[in-house]
Structure 1
Amino acid sequence: MPKQNLETQIHLPPDIPSSAGARELLSLLFNEFQWFAPSRYGDADLSEPVPSGKSMLDVLMAYYEEHGHLCVAARTDQDYLWLFPCESGPEPYHGSIIWVTSAAATKKAAWRAAHTRQVLDLMHLVQSPLALSTLEEDFKRKTQRLVPEGIGLKRIPTVRDYSEGLPGLVWRNFYGPPFVRMFGQRLEALPTGCHTPLGDDIVLVQPYELPTEAGTEAGMARERELISLLGPECFYDHEHHTLPSRRPILDALGQAIH
């Protein structure tokens, strides 16, 4: 079986983290959480080597300050991080922190517990309204679809960003205040073990124990069950290709770290 990657997306509010905020974020990820040992950085080509020692953050921050985004990777492409804040424009909710690592790590209960704590800490730090984590191929199934173009096909998004609602349920769904308000009491109707309050303002909804269950018959049946309880109108309809008719109210959404 080919190696499977886990992707965690922490969506940002419509604001750009300052240099101080971005430095605090990177220090947390690489020094405290130790997601991976940074080896290369830059844009998608990752052509620049990361120096070791105290100068690491200085070098990464210099690139972020010049370009407004940053990609960092380990020695292999299995582990990498995107810090991609949204820029000013007509679509203000595209910014995100994306971490990709091996899905094999999720087999360990200690790793899963640490993942929950770390995502929660990051959501509070950047005031994220939504974080999602699942297999890369599961994200592709739920966030993209193929449509005819000329003699071929092109990929288009199902929902462009969280202002248009949710693309579906994935392995881990961390719902911040706008989504907790949107679902309301329906969260309490979820089966035992699928609904975990993480403090006063964030709720974790997890249909199954491991991300490798995504895309299986049992996993998809569980997703449909939970979607029926939360409200199908809150999710993209993949059968009819229609956007969610119920969406979060984002008026009170916080700002990114400064």
Structure 2
Amino acid sequence: MMRSPTEIDTRIGLPPGPLSGEIVRELLELVLCKFRWFEPRRFGHVSLEKSLDPARLDLAPIIAYYEERKKLCIAAKTDRDFIWVSPAHTAELPFVGEISWTTSAQSASKVPWRTAHMQQIAELMRLVRSPLGQTGLAQDFERKTRRWVPQELGQKRVVTVPDYSKGLAGLVWRNFYGPPFVRMFGERLDTLPSDCRQPLGEELVLVQPYELPTEAGTETGIARERELISLLGPECFYDHEHHTLPTRRPVLDSLGQPLH
């Protein structure tokens, strides 16, 4: 399905294995009560069958639903804003889970929002011990993480990189690299232009090719991505010309499990 050009996604990769109800509660307290990403009105899975009163938000039934289904979606009144919590069921790589948040790209046009977003994603990544977080246009994610492969009858849509254990599909607007990726890139991170690199403490570094997510896919945006990839090491990224996986990948042996 073609995603709207007005949407941006934030995707926070989770370590392998389940995510406890306690961590999900702490996560929701942050995104719904402290950060106030949106006013929650519905929750569930695909159908969003449960309703919420944002004036008297009770997380108990939401956590109970999550603990029963092991997946959760919470949405605003419209489909403009929603979050998914979708951890893996096993502790085996690949097929790790993620937390994803979709909102309007217009939000990123405001400097205070961009500043808060950077700090909030860093806080959430530390909470769940995520090795990788990314934010970009939904369509840009589609271009870099999916491709069409010709078949005998028609075409088949396949993923480019199955998950972060296999390397990176490319650069999007904001790329939050946790310890495994900071170690993988090493000193190459220091070669990036200062306006594209922001250390966030505790082996967490933000790499941002351009100021706004809407620059993705433009001539200047693509050129900037290529410049940074050449500095970080093309072998760390999917080769979209030859359709080959990265040959350099993060070492995940010491990847910690979420707390609790």
Bin the TM-score by the shorter chain: over 0.9
What is the CA deviation profile of residues 104-139 of structure 1, one whole-angstrom value per residue up to 9, with x for unaligned ones? Answer: 010000000000000000011000000000000000
Q: Name the TM-score, length of structure 1 as normaliser.
A: 0.96
What is the distance in 1 between the residues matched to 2:251 and 2:32? 33
Task: Say which SS state the counterpart of residue 20 (structure 1) adopts.
Answer: helix
* Letter in structure 2 aligned against 1:13: P
For the 8 Å contact 2:40–2:76, the answer to whether it is kept is: yes
What is the distance in 2 between the residues matched to 1:20 and 1:223? 38
Equivalent positions of 1:114-125 (< 5 A) are 114-125=116-127
* Letter in structure 2 aligned against 1:123: M
Who is 1:63 aligned against?
A: 65
Moved more, 48-57 or 76-85: 48-57
Task: Say which SS state the counterpart of residue 113 (structure 2) adopts.
Answer: helix
Q: Name the TM-score, length of structure 2 as normaliser.
A: 0.95
What is the distance in 2 between the residues matched to 1:222 and 1:3? 20
Gaps of 5+ in 1: none
Residue in structure 2 matching 1:136, options 133, 138, 145: 138
Who is 2:254 aligned against?
A: 252
Equivalent positions of 1:1-258 (< 5 A) are 4-54=6-56, 56-88=58-90, 91-258=93-260
For the 8 Å contact 2:25–2:63, the answer to whether it is kept is: yes
Q: How large is the Cα RMSD of the aligned pairs?
A: 1.4
Task: Say which SS state the counterpart of residue 239 (structure 1) adopts.
Answer: coil
- Closer, same or farther: CA 90–254 of 1 in aligned 2, 3 Å: closer
Task: Say which SS state the counterpart of residue 193 (structure 1) adopts.
Answer: helix
Task: Say which SS state the counterpart of residue 30 (structure 2) adopts.
Answer: helix
Say how many residue pairs are matched. 257
* Letter in structure 1 aligned against 2:29: S
For the 8 Å contact 1:93–1:162, the answer to whether it is kept is: no
For the 8 Å contact 2:71–2:86, the answer to whether it is kept is: yes
- Closer, same or farther: CA 240–48 of 1 in aligned 2, 3 Å: same
- Closer, same or farther: CA 48–201 of 1 in aligned 2, 3 Å: same
For the 8 Å contact 1:12–1:93, the answer to whether it is kept is: no
Moved more, 220-229 or 144-153: 144-153
Moved more, 146-155 or 204-213: 146-155
Gaps of 5+ in 2: none
Task: Say which SS state the counterpart of residue 149 (structure 2) adopts.
Answer: strand
What is the distance in 2 between the residues matched to 1:39 and 1:33? 16
Provide the identity percentage: 57
Moved more, 44-53 or 149-158: 44-53
What is the distance in 2 between the residues matched to 1:26 and 1:16? 16
